Structure 1
Amino acid sequence: MSKIFLGYTSMSGRNEKIAGNLKSYLEEKGAEVDLEQLVDADAFRLPEYDAVITVTYTYNDGDIPDEAQDFFEDLQDVDLAKTKFAVLGSSSKSHIHFGRAVDYFTMEMNSSNGDQVADSVKINEDPDDDDYARIHQLADYVLKSLD
């Protein structure tokens, strides 16, 4: 059984809802999922997992959310040693920095020797059925990479 870390940040509740849906979907497919808020998560434990999925929002002027800052900074000192990963999150297309934190997490995890197995997914505000289809496709790519 594959063990997946699913970490999230959520201000409005959107990403918490996305992470909960993703956890249920992955578990239906037979994965073991540890769901944690990034403020409580230990980035140095990530190499213990078969895969890592991060769900984040973009704050203010394209920033990493404050509650994810320590986790993000710790990633700079973590060797993901080819750990499979994917990143997604909600944002607002009306904002000039739409989904920039998703990009920052993707770049940092790649820089930490992670193995990106799915294109990053950016969701405009509340997810609709098409967004959930893209979220589930991301999950399918993660699971397929673990076969």
Structure 2
Amino acid sequence: MKILVTYTSMTGRNEKIAKYLADYLEQKQAEVTLEQIIDTDAYELDDYNAVIVDTYTYNDGEVPDEAKDFFDDLEDVDLHRTKFAVLGSSSKAHLHFGRAVDYFTMQLNSSNGEQAADSVKIDQDPDKNDFERINRLADTVLNSLK
């Protein structure tokens, strides 16, 4: 099982989440590629069995600047039913909590991806319950590939 975990992180929270997720998946015998969204080529996503996007929400509910090229390229990509999941850290203090997670979920669905797990939004730094939700997301993705 080849899984891409791609992330963008401003404060380090989402990088921590992405690394945790990649380690968890590797422990479950998945072949994981971990990279920043800025280095991810949307046109190569269907080389993977599954893609997991980890993003923060910027400013007033926006996709982060460093993720916009990747996000925009998804409009022109046919994922051929590639499994995907989206998660990310944000702040419930913001009116548009985790909206970039929603945007990526919609964009990946529009690109003919197959959502393998419900999206996960994390308030600030992940706690024990959040790590359990991340584990469930990973397990659901892995089970969808069997």
TM-score by length of 2: 0.99
Q: Distance in 2 between matches of 1:75 and 1:34?
A: 19
The runs of at least 4 aligned residues of structure 1 exceeding 6 Å deviation read none
One-letter amino acid of the counterpart of residue 21, structure 1: Y
Q: Distance in 2 between matches of 1:34 and 1:70?
A: 20
Q: Distance in 2 between matches of 1:61 and 1:22?
A: 27
**Structure 1: gaps spanning 5 or more residues:** none
Calculate the aligned-residue CA RMSD, in Å: 0.4
Identical counterparts, % of pairs: 68
Residue of structure 1 in register with 2:13 after alignment: 14
Residue of structure 1 in register with 2:144 after alignment: 145
Partner SS state of residue 138, structure 1: helix
Number of matched pairs:
146
Q: Distance in 2 between matches of 1:67 and 1:129?
A: 29
Residue of structure 1 in register with 2:55 after alignment: 56
One-letter amino acid of the counterpart of residue 17, structure 2: I
Residue of structure 2 in register with 1:37 after alignment: 36
Q: Distance in 2 between matches of 1:38 and 1:94?
A: 25
**Structure 2: gaps spanning 5 or more residues:** none
Q: Distance in 2 between matches of 1:47 and 1:16?
A: 23
Partner SS state of residue 98, structure 1: coil
Q: Distance in 2 between matches of 1:120 and 1:86?
A: 6
One-letter amino acid of the counterpart of residue 16, structure 1: E
TM-score by length of 1: 0.99
CA offsets 1:36-77 (integer angstroms, 9 cap, x no match): 100111010001100000000000011000000000000000
Residue of structure 2 in register with 1:68 after alignment: 67
Residue of structure 2 in register with 1:122 after alignment: 121
